[in-house]
Amino acid sequence: MAKKTRFVSVREIENAYEVQIQSTTFSLELENEVHSVIGMLFFQTRSHIQLDLTQLSYIPLPFIKEILALARDLRAKKRVLVLVGIPFSMYHFLHRFHLDKMIFQLKGGMVKRKFQNPLRAKGEFLN
């Protein structure tokens, strides 16, 4: 069962629902659509939620706060939020303030693949 809206596609995966953002730029319409889709999943299912942010290159702080509130609410209901493909800047923010403990991390990590940190030697990538 996969459903696609203007900015978001939703599909059922093993023990969870995956919400994949299709847009490459962040907008108010995207935020409203994600908020309504996740709200529907939160109240109408008992499954975990996986949020795939791979397409977005930038995520504003108010949206990060919404994601953290969702993670807290899911944890209170004995469910988890899985983040996939977040920008390194968001990961650094979560890690710096010890907020990454609220979010379930996949074995391969939640940060986008092939991110090159300008402070690392050329060719050394974050896995």
The two three-digit tokens of residue 86, written as one number: 């977040």
- CATH superfamily for domain 2-102: STAS domain (3.30.750.24)
Boundaries of every domain in the chain:
2-102
What per-residue string of b and e applies to 22-32 under the rule 16 or more CB within 10 Å gives b? Answer: eeeebeeebee
What is the pTM for the complete model shown? 0.79
Q: Which of 45, 100, 34 is nearest to 68 (CA)?
A: 100
Spell out the per-residue pLDDT of the chain, length 127, in tens. Answer: 566 668 899 999 888 899 999 998 899 999 999 999 999 999 999 999 999 998 988 899 999 999 999 999 999 999 999 988 888 888 888 888 888 888 876 655 566 655 444 444 444 444 4
